[in-house]
Structure 1
Amino acid sequence: MKVNSTLATTSSRLNREKLPPEVEAQKQAITERTVAYCNESLDRSRFFSLLQDGEITPSIMQYAFLQYQLWRDRLHQWFGLCIVKAGSCTDPDQKAAIMSLADHTFTDLQDGHSEMYLEFLHDLGLGDPEIKASRRSAATVSYERSFFDDFGYGTNNFYEALATLSGRELCVAVRNERILQYYFDARSMKHPTWLALHAELEVEHFHDAIRPAVTRYTGNSAKIAELMKAVEQGINRHVQYFEEMLHEYESR
């Protein structure tokens, strides 16, 4: 996956220093495995199989991403939980994680990503009255709670929570590339700014989130395996959310 110059326009303030060779090699290996797992999970998904076959209708897209807007309006709570779970702001790895979580939240709010998302909903054919009238479905409520159910305060799994969050980030990038190709390109529609930006920006967010955990555990194969399991958990739950929204749409 590639990252282009669009990232230069963001408000990120992180200092992404070069990692030691062994840590960089481990991060690259995890990145490649994560991208492969994202594609495997999306390939197994009925929602994304229908998307690839050209069978996801505009009304399904409208339903799914109206709900997704309601979830992403509370994404900061997931980042906040990870910050709360960090036991030290002076431990180098936890400090780096806290900074990356705070930076992601700052960038999203400072750069107007919520406004970009509203434009994306307009590109899907939704009007402001429909957007304002939308309410959380059972699938959205379940997805919002899932991170807290798995990594609630008081549980000793900070780096696993960080890895799960990072898996979701990279899955969003791979997911958005598919939506651009199989929905917007297939209909000769312009690429919405939010969708295109997050097809690349989330790659950086993945690296920022996973980096402290990889730095912590490079050389510990058992812990790296646990991180990968957590990454896959985040990917699977994200894809499951779209399966649940598809089921809700079809059951209406």
Structure 2
Amino acid sequence: MKEQPAITDTSSRLNRDIELAPAVKAQESAICSQVIAYCNEVLDRSRFFCLLKAGAITPPMMQYTFLQYHHWRDRLHRWFGLCIVKADSCIDPDQKSAIMSLADHTFTDLQDGHNEMYAEFLYDLGLSDAEIMASQPSAATASYERSFFDEFGYESDNFYEALAALSGRELCVSIRNARIMQSYFDAHGMKHPIWLSLHAKLEVNHFQDSIRPVLTHYDGDSTKLKNVIKAVEGGIKRHIQYFDDLLHEYEFKADIKQK
């Protein structure tokens, strides 16, 4: 087993000590609570996470799911890149803040060796380097990667909504990881993988980094804020759907092998 990297805080270059306007701060707190509640609702409805809670997700299912997640995660920077491309101005304060948060997230992920942490996570699931290298992206993975581009394509005028959807996925990852650690790793008496535990905390910061420029830009515009909530919830729902799609895919392939 390779030596695991130490858990560290983000190497972020962002200044997170900047005080928000009281109205924006209150809006962020309200949205955060609403998003957490919605994420838990979607997780509770998910077949994958219901089976996980019941202890019915087997090691091969976990291996298949997170091998595929590895392929999607390897190209997540393209989602951040799309948002950066959709920003019209690096002078506008809100867009500048958003661009910086997107670039910082990508930098942090690569600088802090999160890819290596994820590889260690796959080893913890019992996978070998040979199995990781032999894996190929599935139809469910390709569909999920494409979904962000389908909804927030380059030509569409929805920069802040795309940013909101991305932020929703970030916060959902924190809640999702906590459930995985409790329902799978704790249930099997296994140590918590560094990648899971770190991102259970780190993604809360990433959510705030992404949603704050949106809330600042739409401060006082109730119609736009409703669209923001819709985008956030859409990002969460599609993310959890990806796990259900992978479960269906795994079961279909397993059934084919048995016939």
Q: TM-score, normalised by structure 1?
A: 0.97
Is the CA contact 1:162–1:209 (under 8 Å) kept in the aligned structure 2?
Answer: yes
Is the CA contact 1:34–1:232 (under 8 Å) kept in the aligned structure 2?
Answer: yes
Residue matched to 1:15: 15
**Gapped regions of structure 1 (runs ≥ 5):** 1-5
Residue matched to 1:108: 109
SS in 2 for 1:153: coil
Deviations 1:201-233 (A, max 9, x none): 011101100010011112111111100000000
Pick which of 211-220 and 155-164 moved more: 211-220
Correspondence list, 1:1-252, <5 A: 9-16=9-16, 17-252=18-253
Residues 8/131 of structure 1: CA separation in 2 closer, same or farther (3 Å cut): closer
Alignment size in residue pairs:
247
Deviations 1:142-170 (A, max 9, x none): 00100000011110000000000011111
**1:8 CA drift (Å):** 6.2
**1:235 CA drift (Å):** 0.3
Is the CA contact 2:218–2:224 (under 8 Å) kept in the aligned structure 1?
Answer: yes
Residues 8/211 of structure 1: CA separation in 2 closer, same or farther (3 Å cut): farther
Residues 145/31 of structure 1: CA separation in 2 closer, same or farther (3 Å cut): same
Q: Distance in 1 between matches of 2:8 and 2:185?
A: 25
Is the CA contact 2:9–2:202 (under 8 Å) kept in the aligned structure 1?
Answer: no
**Gapped regions of structure 2 (runs ≥ 5):** 1-5, 254-259
Structure 1 segments of 4+ aligned residues over 6 angstroms from their partners: none
Q: Distance in 2 between matches of 1:40 and 1:159?
A: 24
Deviations 1:60-80 (A, max 9, x none): 000000000000000000000
Residue matched to 1:3: none
SS in 2 for 1:9: coil
Percent identity for Structure 1 against Structure 2 = 69
Query: Match of 1:218, as an amino acid?
Result: D
Deviations 1:88-136 (A, max 9, x none): 0000000000000000000000000000000000000001100000000
